[in-house]
Chains A and B, each alone.
Chain A
Amino acid sequence: MTIESLSMAKAINLGLRRAMTENSRVLLMGEDIGPLGGVFRVTEGLHAEFGGDRVLDTPLAESGIIGTAIGLAMAGYRPVCEIQFDGFIYPGFDQITSQLAKLTSRHGGSMTFPVVIRVPYGGHIGAVEHHQESPEAYFAHTAGLRSVTPATPHDAYWMIQEAIASNDPVMFFEPKSRYWPKGDVDDAASGFPLHASRVVREGADITLLGYGPMVNVLLAAADIAAQEGTSAEVVDLRSLSPIDYEPVLASVRKTGRLIVAQEAPGFVSIGSEIAATVTERAFYSLEAPVIRVAGFDTPFPPAKLESAYLPDADRVLEAVDRAMAY
């Protein structure tokens, strides 16, 4: 049935709850995720319902959280770790990239590591340093990890469950700016597999591709473009690793133009990767160079400057104008 008007935070909460109910090996680990329910309240009520042995308020140590989650996976558990904020993931970086990502391979497949790492990410919340970053490219670059990010409450509800069901480690990036806007969730039908990208608005003249927090910005840009006579197709990437290219390439072959948008810095990024691959695989379909719209290659600025840093609909439309000029 359809649950109307659910926030993404609540949708993830319900997804976690369902996964924990269906599989007693699923447990949650993180800082302040117990009685408090996490700083974003994503785990609210779960400690009370499942107890402290299923919802572990851990010591304040990110490497410790990931490293012990690896050991718990060896013991047959399916840990879901919450990293409190994007910029706090780096103390756990070594355990994620040198251990978790490589352990299946190191074991020659004799052990699997079904660990999910939930990372609230991105800007638009006016917070202090280290609280608004977009670190996804580091993890997409690392073999052995899967990386996904939902853009809607419905996707979030299903993708968190699919991530938990995966036998590989999954980085689950949660767009903070989309935690509270509400949407409908159909809890009877998932619709799309974890690693599928999809067209969320059809158009004919140009493809706007993004993920997580950018999808809504792209939809707004497409609305404005339509008023100006340009028909934009919007693609929600959903999965950052692996990337489901076929819907992207099909769209580009149709429109001949591609804008890739992200909050993360553009240099060596998901957008760079997609631009390179689309150029390799759809060169003769392109009427214009692939254009990246991204955060600047600076540290995330103080909050009062974030609106100048983060791509908005106008920045996307500026890129649309450049692409359409070819």
Chain B
Amino acid sequence: MAFTADTLRLLDSDGSLIRNDRTSEYLPLIEALSDDQLRDFHRQMVVMRRVDVEAGNLQRQGQLALWIPSIGQEGAQVGSGYAARPQDHIFPAYREHVVGRIRGVDTMRIIELLRGLSHGGWDPKQHGNFHLYTLVIGSQTLHATGLAMGLTLDGKTRSGDPERDEAVVVYFGDGATSQGDVSEALVFAASYQTPQVFFLQNNHWAISVPVTRQSRTPLFHRPAGFGIPGIQIDGNDVLASYAVTRTSLDAARAGEGPRFIEALTYRIGAHTTSDDPTKYRDEQELEFWLANDPIQRFEAHLRGRGESDAFFAELATEAEDVAADLRTRTLALGVPPASDMFAHVYSEPHPLMDAQAAWLEAYEAGFEDER
């Protein structure tokens, strides 16, 4: 599924802006961005890719149980991540590390998750309303819809003030669209007209199964059956991702109901470090998407605007520094005490937790002499 006439693109393959009737709705949003904001888009994409490489290496060196790379999807993620306003809620799937970075989640939290030290553990309220990863495919779409229902009930949206009105964006993939929960979330969202954007990253592969097995029709057609407007964008175009998500979120927060965005992108790497895409993917498809890399295209755009070599050189250094810092901090990580298992299973006292925590403590104390 490459780009078609339906696919909204703002950036052409050579990095120039596409100006036509369809893009004219979105280009003013792009033109309103400052040079620094555009540099930030690029900075986040470049740093994330370097972090992805470093974390993949850490996994190969036995420091992580798993890494989930996002290489190739930086445009879809950074654009949509910047489109959300500070008061918005973000429900990721589990590959949106850079959206977390934009919202203030240190990638070390993800490292800890994939090193086997936690199941999440950050407080969304203290981290830009970036909620925890959900590993059961598609389950988070319902949580996002429920929270969006709450925003409506509480009058935290639809006042007409986009600086104040809250909205929700939920990420999920092409595989998730086959899950019942995603369909149920669309039903509830349409029924309660939630202030919500469904952001589908169609990266074409659910581990080894191609998107054609999930759907014989373009996925952005699906929301129409639920009464939700859908649009397909070039997900490797960071500006299209930004402008369309921004517009959709603002429509949703203004009371126009939920929106659905299908961002066509590609998982350049493996599903996770446990996967081997050479067993099921063909090289030609990969080459098409490598030629449509989101970072290269945006670099061409910035250079076309006159960005200096120095900026790109400094950015490369910054990315190296971030990666080195993550490595250092990863190697310094300890293991939490075993008693942490019992700490938050319940929020109020529970006799079984107390008894088992006490038993474990006494059991471990029995080995003191052997240490």
Interface of chain A residues 110 through 127 with chain B (CB within 8 A): 110-112
Cβ-defined partner of B119 (8 Å) among A53, A95, A105, A168:
A105
Q: Which of chain B's residues have a CB closer than 8 A to the CB of A77?
A: 150, 153
Q: Which of chain B's residues have a CB closer than 8 A to the CB of A102?
A: 119
Decide if A171 is an interface residue (CB 8 Å cutoff). no
Complex alpha-carbon distance, A278 and B114, angstroms = 40
Interface of chain A residues 63 through 82 with chain B (CB within 8 A): 63-64, 66-77
A108 B142 Cβ-Cβ under 8 A: no
Proximity string of chain B (151-166) to chain A, C-beta cutoff 8 Å, 1 when within and 0 when not? 1011000000000000
Interface of chain B residues 84 through 122 with chain A (CB within 8 A): 118-122
Question: Shortest CB–CB separation between residue B93 and chain A, in angstroms?
Answer: 14
What are 8 A-B interface contacts by the 8 Å CB criterion?
Answer: A59-B187, A64-B188, A67-B142, A68-B143, A71-B144, A104-B346, A168-B348, A242-B352
A108 B121 Cβ-Cβ under 8 A: yes
Interface of chain B residues 340 through 371 with chain A (CB within 8 A): 343-348, 350-352
Decide if B269 is an interface residue (CB 8 Å cutoff). no
Q: Which of chain B's residues have a CB closer than 8 A to the CB of A66?
A: 142
B contact residues, range: 35 or more
Question: Shortest CB–CB separation between residue A118 and chain B, in angstroms?
Answer: 18
Complex alpha-carbon distance, A98 and B351, angstroms = 22
A71 B123 Cβ-Cβ under 8 A: no
Complex alpha-carbon distance, A72 and B188, angstroms = 13
Question: Shortest CB–CB separation between residue A47 and chain B, in angstroms?
Answer: 15
Decide if A150 is an interface residue (CB 8 Å cutoff). no
Decide if A99 is an interface residue (CB 8 Å cutoff). yes
Decide if B149 is an interface residue (CB 8 Å cutoff). yes
B187 A61 Cβ-Cβ under 8 A: yes
Q: Which of chain A's residues have a CB closer than 8 A to the CB of B124?
A: 74, 107, 110-111
Question: CB-nearest residue of chain A relative to B136?
Answer: A98
Decide if B148 is an interface residue (CB 8 Å cutoff). yes
Q: With A63-B180, A107-B123 known to touch, is A68 a contact of B188 (CB < 8 Å)?
A: yes
- Give the 7 A-B residue pairs with the shortest CB-CB distance, closest first: A71-B146, A67-B142, A75-B150, A68-B146, A64-B184, A110-B123, A71-B147
Complex alpha-carbon distance, A209 and B148, angstroms = 45
Question: CB-nearest residue of chain B relative to A54?
Answer: B153
B143 A74 Cβ-Cβ under 8 A: yes
Q: Which of chain A's residues have a CB closer than 8 A to the CB of B123?
A: 107-108, 110-111
B181 A105 Cβ-Cβ under 8 A: no
Q: Which of chain A's residues have a CB closer than 8 A to the CB of B149?
A: 68, 71-72, 75
Decide if B139 is an interface residue (CB 8 Å cutoff). yes
Complex alpha-carbon distance, A248 and B285, angstroms = 66
Cβ-defined partner of A74 (8 Å) among B139, B147, B347:
B147
Q: With A70-B146, A74-B143 known to touch, is A53 a contact of B188 (CB < 8 Å)?
A: no
Cβ-defined partner of A168 (8 Å) among B144, B346, B351:
B346
Cβ-defined partner of A98 (8 Å) among B139, B144, B188, B345:
B139
Decide if B68 is an interface residue (CB 8 Å cutoff). no
Decide if A187 is an interface residue (CB 8 Å cutoff). no
A144 B188 Cβ-Cβ under 8 A: no
Decide if B185 is an interface residue (CB 8 Å cutoff). yes
Q: With A72-B150, A75-B154 known to touch, is A67 a contact of B347 (CB < 8 Å)?
A: no
Question: CB-nearest residue of chain A relative to B184?
Answer: A64
Decide if A109 is an interface residue (CB 8 Å cutoff). yes
Complex alpha-carbon distance, A110 and B118, angstroms = 14
Q: Which of chain A's residues have a CB closer than 8 A to the CB of B148?
A: 71
Question: Shortest CB–CB separation between residue A71 and chain B, in angstroms?
Answer: 2
New A-B contacts (10) at CB < 8 Å, excluding given A111-B125, A241-B352:
A63-B180, A63-B184, A67-B143, A69-B146, A70-B142, A73-B146, A77-B150, A105-B344, A108-B121, A110-B122
Cβ-defined partner of B345 (8 Å) among A59, A69, A104, A167:
A104
Q: Which of chain B's residues have a CB closer than 8 A to the CB of A230?
A: none
Decide if B274 is an interface residue (CB 8 Å cutoff). no
Question: CB-nearest residue of chain B relative to A143?
Answer: B345
Scoring A53, A75, A144 by chain B CB atoms within 10 A of each residue's CB, the highest score goes to: A75
Complex alpha-carbon distance, A59 and B345, angstroms = 31
Scoring B119, B141, B187, B346 by chain A CB atoms within 10 A of each residue's CB, the highest score goes to: B346
Question: Shortest CB–CB separation between residue A68 and chain B, in angstroms?
Answer: 3
Question: Shortest CB–CB separation between residue B37 and chain A, in angstroms?
Answer: 30
Complex alpha-carbon distance, A143 and B343, angstroms = 12
Decide if A304 is an interface residue (CB 8 Å cutoff). no
Question: Shortest CB–CB separation between residue A144 and chain B, in angstroms?
Answer: 5
Decide if B10 is an interface residue (CB 8 Å cutoff). no
Decide if B132 is an interface residue (CB 8 Å cutoff). yes
B350 A242 Cβ-Cβ under 8 A: yes
Question: Shortest CB–CB separation between residue A99 and chain B, in angstroms?
Answer: 6
Q: Which of chain B's residues have a CB closer than 8 A to the CB of A76?
A: 150, 154
A106 B188 Cβ-Cβ under 8 A: no
Question: Shortest CB–CB separation between residue A321 and chain B, in angstroms?
Answer: 34
Interface of chain A residues 177 through 233 with chain B (CB within 8 A): none
Interface of chain B residues 175 through 229 with chain A (CB within 8 A): 180-181, 184-185, 187-188, 191
Q: Which of chain A's residues have a CB closer than 8 A to the CB of B352?
A: 241-242
A242 B146 Cβ-Cβ under 8 A: no
Question: CB-nearest residue of chain B relative to A114?
Answer: B347
A59 B188 Cβ-Cβ under 8 A: yes
Q: Which of chain A's residues have a CB closer than 8 A to the CB of B181?
A: 63-64, 67, 94-95
Question: CB-nearest residue of chain A relative to B135?
Answer: A98
Interface of chain A residues 147 through 184 with chain B (CB within 8 A): 166-168
B121 A67 Cβ-Cβ under 8 A: no
Q: With A72-B150, A168-B346 known to touch, is A63 a contact of B119 (CB < 8 Å)?
A: no
Complex alpha-carbon distance, A53 and B152, angstroms = 10
Q: Which of chain B's residues have a CB closer than 8 A to the CB of A279?
A: none
B346 A107 Cβ-Cβ under 8 A: no
Question: Shortest CB–CB separation between residue A281 and chain B, in angstroms?
Answer: 11
Proximity string of chain A (237-280) to chain B, C-beta cutoff 8 Å, 1 when within and 0 when not? 00001101000000000000000000000000000000000000
Interface of chain A residues 1 through 43 with chain B (CB within 8 A): 27
B139 A67 Cβ-Cβ under 8 A: yes
Question: Shortest CB–CB separation between residue B191 and chain A, in angstroms?
Answer: 6
